[in-house]
Amino acid sequence: MLSYQHSYHAGNFADVHKHLTLSLLLESLNKKPKPWSYFETHAGTALYDLSAENATKTGEFKQGVSLLQGKKLPSLFDSYLQVVKQLNTAIDPCVKYPGSPWFASQAARDGDKISLMELHPGEHQQLKALFRRNSAVAVHHRDGYEGVLSLLPPKPNRGLVLIDPSYEVKSEYLQVAKFIEKAYQRWSNGCFAIWYPLLKAGNHHEMLRKIKHSGIRKVLQAEFFVKSATDERMYGSGMLLINPPWHLEQQLQQLSESLYQHLAETSAAPPQIQWLVAE
């Protein structure tokens, strides 16, 4: 939706969960010397100012990335925290927050390719300006689903697609499921990472059901909760991972348990990591 602005929500618990997962996926890609391709359907802007009006109005980052400052955290957090730290100072450790395009650009090596789709005119212009001198990053002003599909299968032929729409419209869930089926047909060896919100309405269940019965194998589901499932607000964050690295299940279990310790309210259920569809 063109009305959605992520600057109100940057650095919240869902961003932390999503970007930690993304950091682990990028780390895994970099373990092999072969170059990779990275795509985003809804790139947003790559950098957010947590001292700006939009962020301070909601204050969501205070229950997210801010709660990790000064904590003793597992080494799985290192890559994520390093990217955040590089944008800030010791005096003000949590003023700037990176979006997912920034995490990808910081992980990219010579030969790696990044393609970002963003339909919102203002956010597209910000992305374009930020990466104008980075030849590895292509910024497209087009529909994310159509744009990514047109570029599959990619060269290099290993890599990752991140799908994280706003889900402001209920139909977006099924749109994601339809996109995944088409994208997987074109790039069955690619890794697909789908973020989705956990809300009382439960609109994500139909998306999960569609993907579960699509015939796609190796689908890992990771859900992290910060509030009771009866809460009227977003109570958790979900990640669906198709063709994940073999070690990601164990990594997400450790990561989620640490996040649960530092970010979750006492009413929240423990994190759940399970295979929606086995290999």
- CB contact set of 53 (below 8 Å; sequence gap of 6+): none
- Cis geometry, peptide bond prior to residue 197 (ω within 30 degrees of 0): no
164 catalytic? Reply is yes
d(CA 104, CA 97): 14
pLDDT digits (tens, 9 = 90+) for 136-185: 999 999 999 999 999 999 999 999 999 999 999 999 999 999 999 999 99
pLDDT digits (tens, 9 = 90+) for 171-225: 999 999 999 999 999 999 999 999 999 999 999 999 999 999 999 999 999 999 9
Rg (CA), the chain: 17
Domain positions in the chain: 6-277
pLDDT value of residue 13 = 96
Task: For the domain covering 6-277, report its CATH number.
Answer: 3.40.50.150
Q: From the candidates 15, 78, 143, 164, which is the catalytic residue?
A: 164
CB 76 within 8 A of CB 26: no
> Which residue do the tokens 């009413």 mark?
267
pLDDT value of residue 145 = 98
Neighbours of 249 (CB within 10 A): 15
pLDDT value of residue 89 = 81
d(CA 143, CA 80): 28
Q: Of how many residues is the chain composed?
A: 279
